[in-house]
């Protein structure tokens, strides 16, 4: 980590236990992927070598909710799938966090039908919304970092009582060019 080089051999640091706990907790988020559609492919790409979610200590994907504390909903949620999602959320460890990845998870996206949940936040608390269809891996990483910054600054969510979601949204970092784009036809 480089800290050994910065300290003398028999040196020591003073800090607060709360800071150490928050530091270790935010550096070891264990995601539970709930990938039901195309956003799941971007989620997989985020964990691969090009984007390397491991740099943020959040690459240990767990497929058992009891071993995970970060639920990533990636893709549309069908009404029939909703009880499964809710059960997974209930079984996850506390303190736990939720990212809604992509338009479908957050709003139903283009699937404005009776069979698709029009936003998973109607049924589980969502801390960070990542926009896009699909979002880029960088956007998902920014969503993870928003939760890490919150853990660093605020510490643990209040225990007991109703869970209050953070309700943060990743903002787009680009401006859309004028549409429609000009077309040229070669002869
Ligand atoms: S937001 Fe777009 S990319 Fe993501 S699951 Fe929906 S349709 Fe697929």
pLDDT in tens, 29-53: 999 999 999 999 999 999 999 999 9
What's the CA-to-centroid distance between 37 and ligand 1, angstroms? 7
- Domains of the chain, by residue range, sit at 29-157+164-169
Candidates 126, 58, 124; CA nearest to 90 is 124
pLDDT digit string, tens, across residues 55-78: 999 989 999 999 999 999 999 999
- Ligand 1 center–CA 66 separation, angstroms: 27
Counting beta carbons within 10 angstroms of the beta carbon of residue 175, is it exposed (0 to 12), middle (13 to 18) or buried (19 or more)?
exposed
Ligand 1 centre to CA of 15 (Å) is 44
Those residues with Cβ within 8 angstroms of residue 32's Cβ, 6 or more apart along the chain or in another chain: 61, 62, 63, 64, 65, 68, 70, 71, 72, 88, 92
CATH of 29-157+164-169, one of 1.10.540.10, 3.40.50.12280, 3.40.50.300, 3.90.1150.10: 3.40.50.12280
Alpha helices in 73-115 (DSSP H): 82-91, 102-107
What is the chain's mean pLDDT, rounded?
88
Label residue 112 by pLDDT band (50, 70, 90). Answer: very high
| pLDDT tens readout for residues 148-184 | 999 988 656 555 556 778 888 988 777 777 777 777 7
Measured from CB, residues less than 6 Å from any atom of ligand 1 are: 37-39, 75-76, 102-104, 109, 133-134
Closest ligand 1 atom to the C-alpha of 103?
Answer: 1
pLDDT at 109 over 90: yes
Q: How far apart are CA 139 and CA 101, in angstroms?
A: 9
How many CA atoms within 13 Å lie on the side-chain side of 73? 32
Confidence (pLDDT) at 155: 59
pLDDT at 173: 72
Residues 24, 86: Cα–Cα separation, whole Å: 27
The predicted model scores a pTM of 0.86
């Amino acid at each position: 980590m480089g800290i050994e080089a910065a300290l003398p051999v028999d040196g020591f640091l003073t800090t607060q236990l709360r800071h150490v706990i928050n530091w270790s907790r935010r550096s070891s988020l264990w995601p539970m992927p709930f990938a039901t559609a195309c956003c799941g492919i971007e989620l997989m790409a985020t964990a691969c070598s090009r984007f390397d979610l491991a740099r943020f200590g959040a690459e240990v994907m767990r497929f058992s909710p009891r071993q995970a504390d970060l639920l990533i909903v990636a893709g549309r949620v069908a009404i029939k799938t909703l009880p499964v999602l809710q059960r997974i959320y209930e079984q996850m460890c506390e303190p736990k966090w939720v990212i809604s990845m992509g338009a479908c998870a957050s709003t139903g996206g283009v699937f404005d039908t009776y069979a698709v949940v029009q936003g998973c936040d109607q049924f589980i608390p969502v801390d960070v919304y990542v926009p896009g269809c699909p979002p880029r891996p960088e956007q998902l990483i920014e969503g993870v970092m928003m939760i890490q910054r919150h853990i660093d600054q605020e510490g643990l969510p209040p225990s007991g009582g109703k869970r209050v979601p953070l309700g943060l949204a990743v903002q787009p970092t680009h401006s859309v060019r004028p549409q429609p784009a000009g077309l040229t036809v070669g002869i």
